[in-house]
Each structure stands twice: as C-alpha cells, then as structure tokens.
Amino acid sequence: MCRSIKTLRPPVTPEVQDEDIRAAALQYVRKVSGFRAPAAHNREAFDRAVEEVAQATARLLEHLEVRGATRPAA
C-alpha cells in the first residue's frame, strides 16, 4: 500500500528511532486520508491519527519477537 514505508523491525532495520516511526505513521495517514497536508479544519484529526499510528507502531515493534534476532538489553 505505501511503498515508501520501510520495514522497521530488526534485523532489517537494527536501530529504529522515534523519527523513523513517526515518518512511517505520517506516510500511512497521508495514504489513507488522501491528503499530503490536510486543510486547517482537518489538521487536528490528521495530527491525532499520526500520533496514534506512531504509538501503535512503537508498541508493535516493542512486542515483536523475531526468531534468530537478538533483542537489545533493556
């Protein structure tokens, strides 16, 4: 669906930063909404969706268990 969203899980991407997660969330929301930048009256909903998708993505990556990959020490 969004070819510009890269895989963020280890070992494909060893070090994922918050910026990477937010960029992927932004691309997803842009694709789903059909807007590159929302109009002023849609800005709050757009920004909230980006934040929620970013949080869900961070939780997913935190809980994924990839066989054969070592998990960083907490």
pLDDT in tens, 33-60: 999 999 999 999 999 999 999 999 999 9
Distances (CA, A) of 24 to 39, 40, 45, 72, 73: 21, 22, 17, 22, 25
Q: What is the Cα gyration radius of the chain?
A: 14
* DSSP run (H or E) holding 43: helix 43-63
Single pTM value for the model: 0.79
Contact 11, 66 (CB under 8 A): yes
Query: What percent of the chain is predicted at pLDDT more than 90?
Result: 59
